[in-house]
Chains A and B, each alone.
Chain A
């Protein structure tokens, strides 16, 4: 299995590799736990889970600095965790608590915390892409060494705003990296039904920017491609379109029986699950012991449990909070 993995690890020390593993585990366990809590009726709303796609957020964010921006989608928990928003702040937000990342006013689809560079997530497909270009334009005008990363799914690349934003980012050489998480389905619509081209990355040509296809279930491949794209952006050479091929190992949202996919297809992708894959890679190639990995798993479990305790013990918003935060005085 490890033979599949990109051998980019020689540039990364064991501590950083372990941190990437920890982030993937944290995202996976956060999402599994959120799903359980939802099924138990302890959190309201719907949930768009990131299970199976963890390598993308973990790989990309490993390249980013705190002051870099991340603009996310209706499936934002993983992006937020990887950018440094705490599990407790996100969990409390899912519970609709006043201590949540958005004081209970955002919810699952809008989690974010600009203090960590994570914009409240945008749940309109494609609507986040021009905003990422705007953040990057500001960074350029302010002469700041800051990069914006814009995540979106394969569905978004058929939205008009996506095309407008990529074109503007290209003509102005904006420091932005467009990260497509192509999980093969826009809700239930198969990729091949919505695209004549084989890869979304090919569309980069149309805008005059590099487009790369990456194994999105290989965290090191994601890291390597993101590193190159982010460095290019920091050098002032403009945007890159990264297409990470990945798969949702769960439904689109809370009530998705996934009958539009075959069990065989799901099984084949389950074998490419990015977390066991990276775990095996670390054991085989990086002199990381099973004990070390289990210690990481345990610390993740503690973090998740602490997040639940924090969320459950936190106060609800007050009814009057409905009326605040519409305008800034």
Chain B
């Protein structure tokens, strides 16, 4: 086993998939330019040297074209991995993803499949309102799209491989502060969860969550950076005598409802932590489902800790207020007991 950052694990997944299957290629902005960045967060760094510029295909700044071309290529038998420089730019692609990619199979009466992957970095990182949003919920709302959000190096490699091999459009959300990108692309405030990543071929199934910390008093469901904030909060709570069970959903579509429900049955309390704005976030959907299926096991109202309903701010002080903190998570859990 090798120790890898998430950026390295993603790169390794892409490399192995491209070696395994000649249909796999990458398309996006600044991903393979000689002397360039290897994508905004170094994930594709060096891959154009290995695979050439046809399979690490740099595009003009044309997001609608990137998504639509990936879609067309997928229909025609290729397996594109599109690099969305910042998840905020997915909004430039909305027509292609929501009207086209998500509905193509259905509109065709089930005769077409669309095996395409969109990789998109989320998270507030002192870049202001348009390079900061956590946009997962926009896509969990759309039938025909799968949504995953790997928070560890192991899952990054395994989930990206599953996404590439999936026959449907999959959005892979990655967090800027978790990449562990090195050199000039290092992100201030990164927590870089370096982890063990097997060198052999393995996949992490889409639709399966995982319990990251066992506990009996409260269930916390949190993805990406919020998973780490929640794990830190759980340690703090433990010192106060409260044992939180922390679940990493890993996939938002399909959602591992059973895993969450089993935990809620045990703890009787549910907190969802997400970096997206509160209203209409994916956490609202988890809350609604657990209010429905878990009602008789709940001992307290379901709570959410999310970014408030304001745009992501620039000033680091404001950003610290915006992104859910360990302290907020601890306080909210204590209010539920």
Chain A residues within 8 Å of B, Cβ to Cβ: 69, 71, 100-106, 110, 112-115, 119-120, 122, 124, 127, 129-139, 141-142, 148, 160-161, 164-165, 167-168, 171, 324-329
CA distance A139 to B107 in the complex (A): 23
Determine if A165 and B65 form an interchain contact, defined as CB atoms under 8 angstroms apart. Answer: yes
Inter-chain contacts of A132 with B (CB < 8 A): 72
Quick one: closest A residue to B143, CB to CB?
Answer: A326
Q: Mark B176-190, 1 if CB is under 8 A from A, else 0.
A: 000000000000000
Interface centre among A104, A113, A134, A139 (most CB of B within 10 A): A134
Whether the pair A168, B60 counts as a contact (CB closer than 8 A) is: yes
Q: Find chain A residues with CB under 8 A from B78 CB.
A: 137-138, 141-142
For the complex formed, measure the closest distance between the CB of A15 and the CB atoms of chain B, giving whole angstroms. Answer: 32
For B60, give its contact among A71, A101, A110, A167 (CB under 8 Å): A167
Q: How far is the CB of A208 from chain B (nearest CB, A)?
A: 13
The 0/1 profile, CB within 8 Å of A marked 1, for residues 68-95 of chain B is: 1111111111100000000000000001
Contact A127 B105, CB 8 Å, known A138-B77, A167-B65: no
Instruction: Contact check, B109 vs A100: say whether CB atoms are below 8 A apart.
Output: yes
Of B69, B73, B109, B112, the residue contacting A101 (CB under 8 A) is: B109
Complex Cα distance, B77 from A327, in Å, reads 17
| Interface contact B106-A130, CB-CB below 8 Å | no
Given contacts A100-B109, A120-B104, A326-B105, contact A139 B68 (CB under 8 A): no
> Contacts A103-B110, A113-B111, A168-B65; is A325 near B105 (CB within 8 Å)?
yes
Contact in complex: B60, A327 (CB < 8 Å): no
* Distance of A135 from chain B, by nearest CB (Å): 4
Complex: A139 Cα to B73 Cα, angstroms: 8
Q: List 10 A-B contacts (CB under 8 A).
A: A101-B109, A102-B108, A105-B110, A130-B65, A137-B78, A138-B72, A138-B78, A161-B64, A164-B63, A326-B106
B107 touching A110 by the CB < 8 A rule? Answer: yes
Please, which residues of chain A bring their CB within 8 A of the CB of B68? 127, 129-131, 133-134, 161, 164-165
- For B112, list chain A residues within 8 Å (CB): 114, 119-120
Does B256 sit at the interface, judged by CB under 8 A?
no
Beyond contacts A103-B109, A120-B112, A138-B72: 18 other A-B pairs, Cβ-Cβ < 8 A, are: A102-B109, A105-B106, A120-B104, A124-B100, A127-B68, A130-B64, A130-B72, A131-B71, A134-B68, A134-B73, A135-B72, A137-B69, A161-B65, A164-B60, A324-B110, A325-B108, A328-B113, A328-B167
Residues of B within 8 A of A160 (CB): 64
